[in-house]
Chains A and B, each alone.
Chain A
Amino acid sequence: MISIEGLSKIFTSNKRQITAVDDLTLEIKEGDIFGVIGYSGAGKSTFVRLLNRLEEPSFGRIVIDEQEITSLNSNQLRLARQEIGMIFQHFNLLWSRTVKDNIAFPLEIAGVPKAERDKRVRELIDLVGLTERENAYPSQLSGGQKQRVGIARALANNPKVLLCDEATSALDPETTNSILDLLVDINQKLGLTIILITHEMHVIRKICKQVAVMENGRIVEQGDVLDVFLRPKQQVTKKFVEQVMGTNDEDEGVNHLINTYDRGKLIRLHFIGETTNQALISEVAKKYEIDINILQGKITQTQAGAYGTLFVQIDGEAGEIDNAIDFITKTSVEVEVIRDAN
């Protein structure tokens, strides 16, 4: 769907050269929600602005839906941009226009006739949940409502791709969640490919399927969100995972657990997705003659299911404990015995 090869952007300011995006190669699949995370200055905004050539690439090739963006002339580029939606951190609405007229703007640009425009605007207002606010001005809306207008506007011309640059960074946590839900909803309803830039890992966790971690203009780590959560390789990635999971003070805790709970086996369960296993603990407890005592853990929900670790104590007859562990091992949950039965 989107294929990026050797993309670079070099800024020259005050005779100094800054490589904001450095030789980036990337494939993004159709219908994906692709997250790009990195600290401020990592080059995320520059990267996303290169995709619709708000910044001209210094080197490299961008192909979106079989159209080579990097080889278009300015007229072709304008038409291509009508099929690439974009939303912004600060919404960038026209304050002089009502909600309705803001959403109609990209349709005016695309030359859609008035009657059709009105119809489409009504659909979009319903889609983003702004019914009855259509005649308000942006200054009369909350941040979340403004972003809904931004999203409706970005979707007006039925784009194939939606670019989101820190779309929730100016919003409070609750509003952030509702906007993220809306994005997932749109992704599923319309099959739209979404590229989402953020510096917040919980945003990635909540809606992305794929994630790339950016640092100094390069992608230093990339993959399924769950894999990256489970096995962060780079230092930056570990830091981002900690944003959601807390710091890794486990080892100390483990010794404490071993000393405190001296009966049965202590095991660590790694949940790495797959929602079907959500009732695992109760299932095991019912099936086998054992007691399960949940000691400590952190579980978080991602688009691909639960992710996290759980420490449990399993007590009972030795054979029954082993059967229970065998059962768990056959699911997608990984089992690690940290202390055998005494």
Chain B
Amino acid sequence: MLTKLFPNLDVQDFWMATYETFYMTLLALAGTFIIGILLGLLLYLTAKDGIWQNKFINMIVAAIVNIFRAIPFIILILLLFPFTDFLIGTIRGPNAALPALIIGAAPFYGRLVEIALKEVDKGVVEAAKAMGAKTKTIIFRVLLPESMPALISGITVTAISLIGYTAMAGVIGAGGLGDYAYFYGFQRREFDVVFVCTVFIVVIVFIFQFIGDYISNRLDKR
């Protein structure tokens, strides 16, 4: 059916590309989630009147976050080539895209995490302190659970950016739907391929958005 409508589409390559897009997005998302939460917590806890109030560390982390957020993603990939080569052993394929994807998305998500944590009621944190909670308990049993809906909607927004990033990474050979659309569709002037890839990317975005909204709503008991 797909082959009839879109004569130039190689179904097997196309599914492979879709799989790679999912692969890159999900792995990068996992990495972004963890690193973003770490960055966000660090920003929140070292801020003024925070539990680990520390002007110096706060400034350093904020600077790193701001710098990496300011670099356009396509340039970030190029910039990270040596690092990626060292880490993964290659600069091609989905795995090679992961460091750039995570480093590109984590600072952005870190800011969203910081905002989410700031929204947690100060009174609740104080109540936990008054009960004699350790900082670890405050982080894992108060701050993160209480901000979870916002953390999930934040990661949803980030996931959608990440899907965009995977497509960009594709253009320089990372694999996935972007790669497929560019090398097989655009460069060979086979625009039906570009079209199908676009549709699938949009569908993937919708799927992520739907799942994210669903989880976030389910968790929100306010």
Taking Cβ atoms with an 8 Å cutoff, the residues of A that contact B are: 52, 54, 77-82, 84, 86, 88, 90, 92-97, 105-106, 108-110, 137-139, 153, 157
Give CA–CA (A139, B219) in the complex, Å.
Answer: 13
* Contact across chains for B127 and A88 when beta carbons are under 8 A apart: yes
B132: Cβ under 8 A from any A Cβ: yes
- 9 smallest CB-CB distances across A and B, nearest first, come from A81-B132, A92-B123, A92-B127, A82-B132, A78-B132, A137-B221, A106-B131, A86-B130, A96-B145
Q: Which residues of B contact A108 (CB under 8 A)?
A: 137, 141
Per-residue interface assignment for chain B, residues 189 to 222, with 1 indicating a CB less than 8 Å from any chain A CB and 0 otherwise: 0000000000000000000000000000001011
Please tell me if the beta carbons of B132 and A92 are within 8 angstroms of each other in the complex.
no
Do residues A139 and B222 form an inter-chain contact, with CB atoms below 8 A? yes
| CA gap between A153 and B221 in the complex, in Å | 19
Contact A86 B221 (CB under 8 A): no
Residue of A nearest to B121 (CB): A92
Q: Is residue B70 within 8 Å, beta carbon to beta carbon, of the partner chain?
A: no
Could you say which interface size class chain B belongs to?
Answer: 20 to 34
**Structural contact, B123 and A94, CB atoms closer than 8 A:** no
Residue of A nearest to B149 (CB): A96
Supply 24 A–B pairs (Cβ within 8 Å), ascending by A: A54-B126, A54-B129, A80-B132, A84-B130, A88-B123, A88-B127, A92-B126, A92-B127, A94-B145, A95-B221, A96-B145, A96-B219, A105-B141, A106-B131, A108-B137, A108-B141, A109-B133, A109-B134, A109-B137, A110-B132, A137-B221, A138-B221, A153-B127, A157-B131
Contact at B127–A96, with CB atoms within 8 Å? no
Chain B 124-167: CB-based contact to A (< 8 A → 1; otherwise 0): 10111111111001000110011010000000000000000000
Contact across chains for B146 and A94 when beta carbons are under 8 A apart: yes
Nearest Cβ on chain A to B120's Cβ, whole angstroms = 10
CA distance A307 to B128 in the complex (A): 40
Chain B residues within an 8 Å CB radius of A139: 221-222
Cα A108 to Cα B137 with chains together (Å): 9
CA distance A139 to B222 in the complex (A): 6
Q: How far is the CA of A80 from the CA of B131 in the complex (A)?
A: 9
Which residue of A is nearest B148, CB measured? A96
Report B-chain residues with C-beta under 8 Å of the C-beta of A81: 129-132
CB neighbours (8 Å) of A94 from chain B are 124, 142, 145-146
Docked pose: A105 CA to B148 CA in angstroms: 18
A95-B221, A96-B148 as given contacts; A79 in contact with B132, CB under 8 Å: yes
| B 104-136 to A, binary, CB cutoff 8 A, 1 in contact else 0 | 000000000000000001011011111111100
A86 and B132 contact, Cβ closer than 8 Å, known pairs A95-B146, A139-B222: no
Cross-chain contact A54 with B130 (CB below 8 angstroms): yes
Q: B131 touching A109 by the CB < 8 A rule?
A: yes
Chain B residues positioned under 8 Å from A93 (CB to CB): 124, 127
Q: A96-B148, A137-B221 are in contact. Are A78 and B130 (CB under 8 A)?
A: no
On whether A105 and B131 interact (CB within 8 A), knowing A95-B221, A137-B221, the answer reads: yes
- Please give me the residue from chain B that is nearest to A108 by CB atom: B141
Nearest CB on B from A328, distance (A):
50
Complex Cα distance A86/B130, Å? 7
CA distance A110 to B219 in the complex (A): 26
Question: Hey, which chain A residues are within 8 Å of B134, CB to CB?
Answer: 78, 109
State how many angstroms separate the Cβ of B76 from the closest Cβ of chain A.
Answer: 35
How far, in angstroms, from A80 to B130 measured CA to CA in the complex?
10
Query: Once the chains are docked, how many angstroms separate the CA of A77 from the CA of B132?
Result: 8
A52 B130 Cβ-Cβ under 8 A = yes
- CA separation between A318 and B23, bound complex, in Å? 105
A82, A95, A97, A137: the one contacting B131 at CB < 8 Å is A82
Name the contact of B127 in the complex, choosing from A79, A86, A157 (C-beta under 8 A). A86
Question: Do A92 and B222 contact each other (CB < 8 Å), given the known contacts A81-B130, A105-B141, A109-B132?
Answer: no
